[in-house]
A and B are shown apart, each in its own frame.
Chain A
C-alpha cells in the first residue's frame, strides 16, 4: 500500500502559489489578512489530493496486491513467484478435491468404517499410547538400564490439542511399559502446551530437559526441567526450574516462531551449546545459544544455518556422524573424522530433511557439503520418503549407537480416528550412521532388538518371469518381517543397456508420478505386495523399479504404492519413494516391516526408507495375504527371501507389576 508520506512535501507547503503575488505590503497586516483564505485553500487542496490518492489506491489495488506479495518473495530470497503460490496451494497430501469428484458418482460404493476394520488397524509392535492423540517424540534417553521415551500427547481427544508429555520405558526399545504423564501444563509458562524438547546428560551423569512451553499468552518460550529423583531409574517425576522460562523469543523473532530446543553439545570453550529452529519471513533458520548452567544463555550473533524459502524449521536436530566407523557418536564429539548432520522438519511440507556438512565450533556455524541439496530444499535428502515427521535422534550410550525416532501420523479421516479412539504411531526406532560407502547419505536400519519379535520363519528362493504374481503362503500376513534380495537376469540387463534406441527412462521417472506398480517397464517394477486381498482388490506393493539412465548406467528407484491399498475413499493413498543408490556388485535388497496399518520399507540396507499408513477394509485379519510380483515386461527376476511372523510387543499400561516383570528380563 502506498504510503501517505508521498503527500507530505506537498501538504507541508505553507504557501499557496496562487496567492503569493510577490506583493511586499506590510507583511504583518498582509499575513494576518491571508491566514484564513490560505488555510481554506490549503484544506481544500489537501482534501482534493487525498481524494485523488484514495481513488488511485482503490483503482490500483486489484492489479498491484498480488504482485506485491510475489515481489516480496523475490526481494527476500531471489526465487520465483511460483513458490509462493505452491506454498499457498499446499503440498500436503490430504485433499478433498478428488474426494468431491467421487462423491457425486452414483457408482461409488457408499463406505462406512465398522469397528472390526478399525480395531484391526492398531499395531502389534509399534509404540503407541493406549488411546488418544500422539505426535512428536520428546527427550529420548537411556538411563540406569532403561530406555526412556517421552512424547507429545493429548489426554482428552484423538486429535491434536491440550498437549502434555507422555512417558514410557523399555529395556530394549521394543517392549514398552506406559508410565504416568511426565509433565503437564501446570505453569503459566506452559499453560497452553508442554511442547517438544530434548534431554542432555551433564558430566556428572545427571539429566537436564529443555522443552518449549506455550505460555498463558501463547508465546513460545524454552523451559528447563530435571528429574525429581535421580535414584529413580524410571524417572517418574520431573521438576520444573523455578526461574522458567530460561529463553524467550529474541528480538527479530516472532513469539510463535521459537520452539523445539535440541540436545546440547560441548564447545571447545567448555560451554554447552544448543540450537533452536525458527524463521525470518520465509527463510528457515536455526538460532544458537551457549550456556554453562542451562539457566542463563548467551545468544550467538551467528546462526547455525539458514536456507531461504524453506519456511519455519521445526524439530531441528544437530549431531556428529563418523566418516569411517559404523557406530553412533555422542552429541559432543567433534574432530577430523567427523561430519555433522543438520536436520529440520519443514512446517510447510511436513517433510523431514537433512544435510551432511561441516561444523565450525569457533562461531557455531555449519556449512553443507552440497549446497544444491541444502536442508529443506525440495530435492534435499530425507530420512524417509513416506509419512515421517518431527523426528529426533539421541545417543544411546548403552550400545554406542545413535537412534532415530519419528512421528508417524495417520493418513485417514479424523472421523475414523475419533471412532477408533486413537491417532498416530512412532516408527520402529532406527540406528543412523553415515553411509561409509557413498559418503553422501545416511543409512538407517530398524534396531536389532526388533528381531526378538521374530517367530516362525520361512525361506524362499525363486525365479519369477515377467508379468508374474506368486502367492507367498506364510499364514497370517499382518505382522511380518521380510528380508529379500533380488537380481535381474543378466540377459535382460545387457539387452536394455546395449540397445541404443531404448529411451533413457531414469531421468523422467519418479515413484510419485509413475502411476504406481501397475505401470510396467522393461526392468520393473518388481517386489512384494503386502496386505493384499487374494482378489488383489486391495494391496500395497513395495518394489524396485530399475530404469536406464544416462551413459549406459542403470538407476534404481524404491517405491511404495498405496493407491490401491484400500477401498475407503476418505484415506490418503499416495505413491511414495525415491531413487536409491546401488553400488557396483551389490544385489538389490529390501526389508519390509508390516504391522497392520503401518508398512515400513528399507531399500538397499536403509539408504532409502519409506513409511506408509494403509487402511485396508478387506485385506485384514485372515484375509491379508503376501504376494511376490514381477511386472517387468522383459526381465526375469531371481528373488531370495525370508519371511518371519512377528510377535506382539505387548505394550503395557502402567502398573507396578508390569514394571517389576520387565526389570527381571
Chain B
C-alpha cells in the first residue's frame, strides 16, 4: 500500500514537472525546440522559470562555441571567405564573452531585462554574421539555430520581468 502511494506521488510529481517545461514552452515562439532543449537537459525537470532560462543561455553558449569552431575550420577550408569569417568570429566571440555572462548574471540576480538584452543580441550577432556571406553562407544552419534559440530564450526571460 505504502509503495503504491509513493509511486503515485512520484508520478504526480513527474507529471507536474514535465508540465512546467511544457507550460513554459507554450509561451515561446517555438514550442518543439524549447521542449527538446529543456527536456534533454538533466537540470530541466527540476528548474523554475529562472533555471529554465539559464539552461537555454547555456545552450546559446554551447552553440556559439560550436559555431566558432566551425568558423576556425572554414578559415582553412574556404580561405576566400576570410573577411566574412573575421566578422563572424568577432560577432560570435561577443556572444561568448559579453552576451552570455551578462545574461547569466542578470537572470541569476533578478534583473532580467539585462538578460533579455544579452539574449536578443546573440540573435542579432548571428544574423549579422549570416548576412556577411550575401546569401551564400556555409553557416546557415548554425546561425539559424542561434536565431531560434535566442527567440525562445528571450520569451522565457521576459516571463521573469
Contact = CB atoms under 8 A, between A and B. Distances in A.
A157 interface: yes
B102 A160 contact: yes
Interface in B85-121: 87, 90-91, 94, 97-99, 101-102, 105-106, 108-114, 116-118, 120-121
A192 B109 contact: yes
Contact of B15 (A57, A311, A348): A57
B134 A110 contact: yes
Central interface residue in B23, B83, B109, B133, by most chain A CB within 10 Å: B109
Contacts of A413: 91, 94, 121, 124-125, 128
Contacts of B11: 50, 54
Nearest to B130: A103
A285 B120 CA distance: 28
Given A65-B22, A110-B84, A418 B98 contact: yes
A96 B147 contact: yes
Interface string A42-74: 010011001000100110010001100100000
B135 interface: yes
A96 B124 contact: yes
B113 A159 contact: no
Contacts of B97: 418
A175 to B, nearest CB: 31
A210 B161 CA distance: 24
A46 B125 contact: no
A89 B128 CA distance: 22
A471 B133 CA distance: 37
A256 B110 contact: yes
A311 B160 CA distance: 10
B27 A569 contact: no
Given A88-B155, A347-B113, A569 B125 contact: no
Interface in B126-157: 126-128, 130-136, 143, 147, 150-151, 154-155
Nearest to A571: B124
Contacts of A160: 102, 105-106, 111, 114, 117
A256 B124 contact: no
A99 B27 contact: no
Contact of A54 (B15, B110, B114): B15
A158 B99 CA distance: 10
A103 to B, nearest CB: 4
A90 B90 contact: no
B110 A94 contact: no
Contact of A255 (B4, B105, B110, B159): B110
Given A192-B109, A414-B121, A43 B131 contact: no
Interface in A189-219: 192-193, 214, 218
A39 B153 CA distance: 49
B37 interface: no
A372 interface: no
A501 interface: no
B46 interface: no
Interface string B1-28: 1001000100110011001001100111
B135 A105 contact: yes
B123 interface: yes
Contacts of A66: 26-27
A255 B111 CA distance: 11
B158 interface: yes
Interface residues on B, range: 35 or more
B158 A46 contact: no
A106 B161 contact: no
Nearest to A11: B5
A203 to B, nearest CB: 35
Nearest to A254: B110
A415 B151 CA distance: 19
A218 B108 contact: yes
B71 to A, nearest CB: 14
A87 interface: yes
Given A102-B131, A312-B161, A414-B99, A92 B116 contact: yes
A116 interface: no
B127 A106 contact: no
A569 B131 contact: yes
A95 B94 contact: no
Central interface residue in A157, A311, A347, by most chain B CB within 10 Å: A347
Nearest to B15: A57
Nearest to B23: A65
A535 interface: no
Interface of B: 1, 4, 8, 11-12, 15-16, 19, 22-23, 26-28, 83-84, 87, 90-91, 94, 97-99, 101-102, 105-106, 108-114, 116-118, 120-121, 123-128, 130-136, 143, 147, 150-151, 154-155, 158-159, 161
14 contacts: A54-B15, A96-B124, A100-B147, A106-B134, A110-B132, A157-B101, A158-B98, A160-B114, A161-B102, A220-B110, A256-B110, A414-B94, A415-B128, A569-B131
Q: What 6 pairs between A and B have smallest CB-CB spacing?
A: A256-B110, A103-B131, A96-B123, A106-B135, A99-B127, A103-B130
Given A103-B143, A214-B109, 16 more contacts: A39-B1, A65-B19, A65-B22, A66-B26, A94-B124, A96-B120, A96-B124, A159-B114, A192-B109, A312-B161, A347-B161, A348-B158, A414-B98, A414-B121, A415-B98, A569-B131
